[in-house]
Amino acid sequence: MSGRLIDARVSQRLFFGVSALLFSVSAAVTVVGGASMSAMGEMPMPGGWTMSMAWMRMCGQTWPGVAASFLGMWVVMMVAMMLPSLVPLLWRYREAVGGTGEARLGWLTVLVGAGYFFVWAAFGMAVFPLGAALAALEMELPALARAVPLTTGVIVLIAGALQFTAWKARRLACCRCEAPGRCRELSALPADAATAWRHGLRLGLHCNACCAGLTMILLVAGVMDLRVMAAVTAAITVERLAPRGERMARVIGGGIAGAGVLLMVRAVVGLG
């Protein structure tokens, strides 16, 4: 009995130690990448805003190379941003399928995480061509570029309002499954690779939907801006892990909506 308890403690320490290391590495790479992007500068645009170089092709680059670079940075960034709120879900998965042997359990946990971040990678693959195409249009059409600050404020306001909806509350409840016995997706979950991969995909889809508003803010306010990334990461982590997550989501939504109104006012004043 005591041997099992010691094994469980070792397993727990190993899991959280590896998770902390992965977070530290991904956060460090994200900070370095963000700093490197900032050092490249941003393009001043009509309307008094600047465009991130993440959507642009630099001299000597090919579009496939730019897309690959964006996707690589996007995945690393998502690991740093989402891992704090994903770790508890991975631990609950391990509790649900425990007793399969430490090596196999570790492999299954990796598959769940891989499925989860595959969803985020697919989202990044879909976002990049849209962002690059929109950036090209904004450079060609000054009138469209001048509308960006006001549009950004509207999108941020919508993202804040989304935090108050029943749809958001249902998505958040899926991501805050507090114990294996209270989560249908963890009930009698088979300990096999295919199931682990599918479970990771489901978690990724739930998380993607739950973070829709916050991800919109990240994309329109600064996809490689370290301050925006830190704020969005904090919001996601708090609403997932803090007690009364639904209430916290609404508090966060109020702050986001206020920021959206402020951005709109600034944009209107700037146009005037």
**CA–CA dist 78, 30 (Å, integer):** 9
- Cβ burial of 158 (10 Å; 0-12, 13-18, 19+) is middle
Q: Say if residues 206 and 200 touch (Cβ distance below 8 Å).
A: no
Residue with tokens 């109020």: 254
Helix axis angle, 102-140 to 193-210, nearest 10° = 40
Per-residue pLDDT of the chain (272 residues; tens, 9 = 90+): 444 554 667 778 889 999 999 999 999 999 988 777 766 667 788 878 888 777 777 777 788 888 898 999 999 999 999 999 999 999 888 888 876 677 788 899 999 999 999 999 999 999 999 998 998 898 889 999 899 999 999 999 999 999 999 999 988 988 876 444 445 555 567 878 999 999 999 999 999 999 999 999 999 887 878 889 999 999 999 999 988 888 999 999 999 999 999 999 998 887 65
pTM for this model (two decimals): 0.88
Please list, residue by residue across 64-98, b when 16 or more beta carbons sit within 10 angstroms of its beta carbon and e when fewer do: eebbeebbebbbbbbbbbbbbbbbebbebbbebbe
pLDDT at 157: 96
What's the pLDDT tens digit per position in 199-226? 999 999 999 999 999 999 999 887 878 8
Nearest to 176 by CA among 232, 233, 246: 246
DSSP reduced 3-state for 45: strand
Q: Tell me the domain boundaries of the chain.
A: 2-271
The pair of structure tokens assigned to 94 is 């391990």
Which are the contacts of 75, defined by CB distance < 8 A and separation ≥ 6?
117, 120, 121, 124
**Neighbour count for residue 46 (Cβ, 10 Å):** 15
Which are the contacts of 77, defined by CB distance < 8 A and separation ≥ 6?
26, 30, 33, 229
**CA–CA dist 147, 155 (Å, integer):** 12
